[in-house]
A and B are shown apart, each in its own frame.
Chain A
Amino acid sequence: MADSAEEARIDQALVTRIRLGADQRAFEQLVRRHQGMIRAQLRRLLHGDEAAADDLAQEAFMLAWRKLDQFRGEARFSSWLYRIAYTCFLQARRGPARHEGIDDETMEQLQTPARAIDLQLDLERAMQRLSTAEQVVLLHCSQLGLSHDEASYVLGMPLGTVKTHATRGKAKLKTWLAAWRDVANTEKFS
């Protein structure tokens, strides 16, 4: 927690330096500090399309540079960047976020993989079967490490909706991975 507060303080100091003197070196430090996670966020959102993710990340940093005066410090700088990157992603998809995904009924019709080759692969598949909203909420909360509040800010979703998607997403993953476990156990003992 203290580390996170210290990181936020460093970001804030760099932002102030840029505001005072249009300091490109300070912005370069900000880019270096955050590019890894922003690019990782976009790669996940774009299902591994590295080139497109890097293009969007570059666009997001350009936007951050131009709009830095609008950063008022209500959220952490990293959350502000995630929000810009997520907005760039939505704009690149040309349209509002589609949060419908696959419903539970359709999901039940999908077969559980007969052979569980690898848990990570199955988790990847299971993640892709979640609704888009559940995927992005779990990405931001469980993988990028944002709090529900921060995810709500980044995704522009009400806090309650974020919590609901996180709970539902995890519940679905639990069910599907339980099936995986059963298959794995059966194979192990047969």
Chain B
Amino acid sequence: MNEPNDEEIEALLHRQFEGPVADNGFSERVIRHLPPRRRRAAWPLRLGGLLGAVACWLSLTSVPMLQAGWRDSLAGQLSVAAIGMWLAMAVLALLALGWSVAESGKR
């Protein structure tokens, strides 16, 4: 038997395919029937953010090192506690920035 090779079969299959169908009003019909797109409500996200910030504040105010750092910062003293506090905040801000950039890249 004289079998065709892979390329011939691929070519035959490709030739058999009629290709994309002409629009002929199809797109307009689809657009005419589109329902209004519901936008996601923003309030759950905002409420979650607010609750998270409050919880974070309440749990951090009881940490002595942060209390000392905040007190020193207000007094204008560059103590270890103050530097540590600002460094921690900078690292957290960078992590949040990185996460936001990664998420926006996916969209």
A177 touching B4, Cβ below 8 Å: yes
A39 nearest in chain B by CB position: B21
A40 touching B12, Cβ below 8 Å: no
For the complex, is A76 an interface residue (Cβ under 8 Å from B)?
Answer: no
A12 nearest in chain B by CB position: B107
Q: For chain A, residues 1 to 36, give those with C-beta under 8 angstroms from any C-beta of chain B.
A: 16, 18-19, 22, 24, 27-28, 31-32, 35-36
Contacts of B106 in A (CB 8 A): 72-73
Provide the bound-state CA to CA distance between A175 and B9, in Å.
11
Provide the bound-state CA to CA distance between A25 and B22, in Å.
20
A170 touching B12, Cβ below 8 Å: no
Interface string of B13-43 (1 = CB under 8 A from A): 1111111111100110111011111011000
Minimum Cβ distance to chain B for residue A73 (Å): 6
Contacts of A54 in B (CB 8 A): 26
Instruction: State which of A85-93, A94-102, A179-187 sits at the interface with chain B.
Output: A179-187
Provide the bound-state CA to CA distance between A160 and B48, in Å.
43
Provide the bound-state CA to CA distance between A28 and B33, in Å.
12
Q: Taking beta carbons and an 8 Å cutoff, which residues of B are in contact with A?
A: 1-6, 9-10, 12-23, 26-27, 29-31, 33-37, 39-40, 106-107
Pick 29 A–B contacts, CB within 8 A, sort by A.
A19-B107, A27-B34, A31-B26, A35-B27, A36-B19, A36-B21, A36-B22, A39-B21, A58-B30, A62-B30, A62-B35, A65-B37, A66-B35, A69-B40, A72-B106, A123-B16, A142-B14, A143-B13, A173-B13, A174-B6, A175-B1, A175-B3, A177-B3, A177-B4, A177-B12, A178-B1, A181-B1, A181-B4, A182-B1
Q: Taking beta carbons and an 8 Å cutoff, which residues of A are in contact with B?
A: 16, 18-19, 22, 24, 27-28, 31-32, 35-37, 39-40, 43-44, 54, 57-58, 61-62, 65-66, 68-69, 72-73, 119-120, 123-124, 127, 138, 142-144, 170, 173-175, 177-179, 181-182, 185
